[in-house]
Each structure stands twice: as structure tokens, then as C-alpha cells.
Structure 1
Amino acid sequence: MTSAIFGSAAFGWLLALAALLAGWFTYGWPGVALAFSVIVFWLLLQFSRAMRAMRQATGAPVGEVASAVMLNARLRQGLRLMDIIGMTRSLGEKLADTPESFRWRDAGGSSVTVELRAGRCVRWTLHRPEVPEAPEAPAANTPAGAA
């Protein structure tokens, strides 16, 4: 519950407002200018992080990942979409808007479907192709008289 509160946009805006007010009451206009500079710097860092993840994903086909099984093992609740894109180095294939879901596949036919709520992973499912049963080994050639 606390991660949802501290990770929300409303909390970020309240924190920015608190910084502006603290700057005003502490140093006046120079304090507001300092708080505003810190807020802009933070926003630029977030933008840079998003652009880095997108730059990594541009070279890969949409929805492809090296190993869906390894992606399944690394996923956890609360991961942001940008974190998942960074792990896969690929944009996911969008399946639905409500609930927001994306799929990544590997060359073997396995896939991972990730469901997001408010931009964070809430559940994921690994889908593996059915492997046909191997035929039984043929009986060993034995001479007709031996048994």
C-alpha cells in the first residue's frame, strides 16, 4: 500500500509543492528558484531515463525477448513498464487497454503476458507451447529364435 502512495503522481506533485513552500518560507524568492531548479532537474532525469529505455528498445522487434522463461523469473509485482522494457530491451506487443496488458515472445514460442494497473505490473502469465510426446523407442532387433 505504501509503495502505491509514494509512487503516485499526486505524491510527487505534493512533494514539489512542499519544496516550493519550504523554499519560500526559508529563503524567499531565491529559495523558490532553488526548489524550482531541483524540480526541473528531477523531471529531466526521469525524461532521460525514459528516453534511454526507448533507445535500447528501438533496435529490437516489437514483442520479442531472448527468453520468455527468464523474463518470467525476473518479473515481480510493482515493476514499472519502463523497468520491464529495460529488462526485455523491446517494446511489448499491446494486447488490451483495459486491463492494460502486453506480451513478449521468444523464438521457441513461449510468451509472457504482463498485466499493468497504473503503469505497474500486477500479474503476469507464462505461456509455453505444448510439446508433443516423443514416440516410444522401437524395440531392439532380436533374432527370431532368441527369447
Structure 2
Amino acid sequence: MAARRIDLNLNGRACTVHAEENTPLLYVLRNDCDLKGTRFGCGASQCGSCHVLLDGASVPACDTPLWAAEGKVVCTVEGLGDGGALHPLQQAFIDEQAAQCGYCLSGILISAAALLQQNPNPSETEVRQALDKHLCRCGSHNRIVRAVLRAAAVMGVAA
């Protein structure tokens, strides 16, 4: 397959890449767009570390072909904040000390953002279900859940 021009809306900006359309979105984000926040974990859509928002849905970028993102809104962890300010989720993760090694967090933050877009006031059970597909080897799950609930409360106050 030959490389072709593919246009994306990436973190609120127009972005054009030249790649084969079956190239994994993760590869393009990390290597062509120089966005390193989205991590390569398992490469088989099983660990959750590579999740990005694609038209508001949390999807694994490791097995999402570039063609599937064409003309859609792609948001990586770098795009969560607003003009350099931290997203409430990012601040809550800092406040709750929800990270240890941090490798899984970009995907977790993305899935938490998708959850809060759909359900601004989730229960603890709903947060755990939304993040169930993400593996955190450090065992920070309880702090992560508290951080998502804290962000939901802060975002609810700001709304």
C-alpha cells in the first residue's frame, strides 16, 4: 500500500499526515505527530495504555487504523487540558497522588474523560466499570477511582 494524505482534527487543530491508511493510529501519533503521551503497552488492545478519544469515544490507538480516524476528532492526553491549563482530571490525579509509575495513566485519563462526558456524576461502581479494561501494575486503582470522583465533583461545581 502506498502512503497517502490523511487529514485529522488532532487535539483541536488540523493535522495532515502522509502514511499508509492501515498504519496504527498510535504509530502516527507518536512518530509522525510527536505526541508521546499515548503509550504503547501490549499492542493487542488488551491493556488500555494507548487509549485516545475518537469522536468522544475511548478507543485503543494500537489497533485503530489511521483510516478510521480520518476526518474525525482525535484527542490524546496532551489535548485534555485547555490552553496549557490542566484538565480537572489531571489535577485530581495529582491531588490524589493517583500515579506511581504513570505508564497506564494516559489511557486511564482518556477513558475517565469519556466517562465524564457521558455521565458527569458517576458512582464509584460506574467509574470502576469504565476503567476495568485498563491495567495498572502498580495497584493504584483506589486512588485512581478517588481522583475520577474528585474531578467529577469539581467539574459539577464548575458547570
TM-score by length of 2: 0.23
Per chain length, whose mean CA-contact separation is higher, i.e. which structure has more relative contact order (CA < 8 Å, sep 6+)? 2
Which structure is higher in helix share? 1
Q: Which has the larger radius of gyration?
A: 1
TM-score by length of 1: 0.24
